[in-house]
């Protein structure tokens, strides 16, 4: 099949491109290579994907540019789309809320409209556990009310979920919305906690810890996320939302201990106040994904953190 992967130069996107290529598909990656983090990292990632010698094409473009999106769909015919491109991160969205709405919401509208016009019938879209906000009930279920977003990023992802339903309802697109829970692993974005803490501890520099270390996250290893995405491409749903997480929480202080053990180095901690937009816990109820996708995450943090640290140590710049 011909797959379009938006955000294909990023952390999850590049791994997904590799998985699809290994499975025998043709893949087009669409990415604007923005400077949210060093674009050279993305160029190196794309080179690694291209080196597989598989049918892979990279298209440099911006989803908010409708002309560029239309040219993309004119140049190739896609069987399925996996939409991962977005401005990411809760804290940065507080500083640039309009940018997040423009890229995440307008960009998604442009993609859905182009898919509809081109006759693409199936699209898988990345959402986020952030849509649950400060959820009093744990673990988080797709059936929970989601009217308590506490960041512009979360609000933009809620809007994308609504748009996915609109295009399913009006045009019959088969749409799967995937709520990712704190994905990590090789190539993780350098601004995210596991990568940032590993880099700073390795360099003997202090790490900023917001709160008292009790905040808990459902950290999900990249290979488990890929399994969930691929499962979605093989089934038709109409419109469905799925949590993709490890369904196991780990406290921040425990996470730091695992990184310390894997590096063989002690962290120097700078305790700081909680940040606006942060939530005390994320915890995925994955029973729906287990039932409908056969999703069975395999990599707990005790295994995944050493795997990430090993990759980090082999790829220091």
Per the rule left: phi > 0, alpha: psi between -120 and 50, beta: everything else, 182 is left
Residue 244 φ/ψ, nearest 5 degrees: -120, 105
Per the rule left: phi > 0, alpha: psi between -120 and 50, beta: everything else, 33 is left
Q: What Rg do the C-alpha atoms of the chain give, in angstroms?
A: 19
Q: What is the DSSP string of 217-235?
A: E--EEHHHHHHHHHHHHTS
Residues 259, 267: contact at Cβ < 8 Å? yes
Residues 312, 199: contact at Cβ < 8 Å? yes
Distance of CA 213 to the CA centre of its chain: 24
Question: Which SS3 state, helix, strand or coil, does residue 256 take?
Answer: helix
The catalytic site residues sit at 153
Helices (H), the chain: 11-22, 39-50, 66-75, 90-95, 97-100, 107-118, 152-171, 193-202, 222-233, 252-263, 287-293, 301-314
Q: Which of 275-313 are b and which e, b meaning 16 or more Cβ less than 10 Å from the residue's Cβ?
A: eebebebbbbbbebbeeebebebebebeebbebbbeebe
């Amino acid at each position: 099949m011909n797959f379009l992967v938006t955000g294909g130069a990023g952390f999850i996107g590049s791994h997904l491109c590799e998985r699809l290529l290994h499975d025998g598909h043709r893949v087009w990656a669409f990415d604007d290579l923005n400077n949210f983090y060093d674009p050279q990292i993305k160029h190196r990632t794309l080179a690694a994907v291209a080196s597989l010698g598989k049918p892979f094409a990279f298209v440099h473009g911006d989803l908010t540019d409708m002309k560029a999106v239309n040219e993309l769909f004119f140049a190739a015919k896609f069987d399925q789309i996996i939409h991962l491109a977005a401005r990411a991160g809760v804290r940065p969205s507080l500083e640039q809320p309009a940018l997040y709405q423009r890229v995440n919401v307008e960009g998604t509208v442009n993609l859905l409209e182009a898919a509809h016009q081109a006759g693409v019938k199936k699209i898988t879209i990345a959402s986020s556990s952030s849509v649950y906000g400060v959820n009093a009930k744990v673990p988080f279920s797709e059936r929970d009310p989601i009217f308590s977003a506490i960041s512009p990023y979360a609000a933009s992802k809620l809007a994308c979920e609504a748009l996915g339903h609109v295009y399913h309802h009006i045009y019959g697109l088969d749409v799967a919305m995937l709520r990712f829970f704190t994905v990590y692993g090789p190539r993780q974005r350098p601004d995210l906690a596991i990568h940032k803490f590993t880099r700073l501890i390795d360099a003997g520099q202090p790490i900023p810890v917001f709160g008292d270390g009790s905040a808990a996250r459902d950290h999900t290893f990249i290979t488990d996320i890929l399994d969930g995405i691929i499962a979605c491409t093989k089934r038709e749903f109409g419109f469905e939302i799925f949590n993709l997480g490890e369904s196991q929480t780990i406290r921040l202080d425990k996470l730091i201990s695992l990184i310390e053990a894997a590096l063989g180095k002690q962290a120097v901690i700078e305790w700081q106040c909680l940040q606006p937009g942060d939530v005390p816990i994320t915890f995925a109820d994955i029973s729906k994904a287990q039932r409908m996708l056969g999703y069975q995450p395999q990599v707990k943090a005790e295994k995944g953190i050493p795997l990430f640290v090993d990759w980090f140590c082999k790829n220091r710049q």
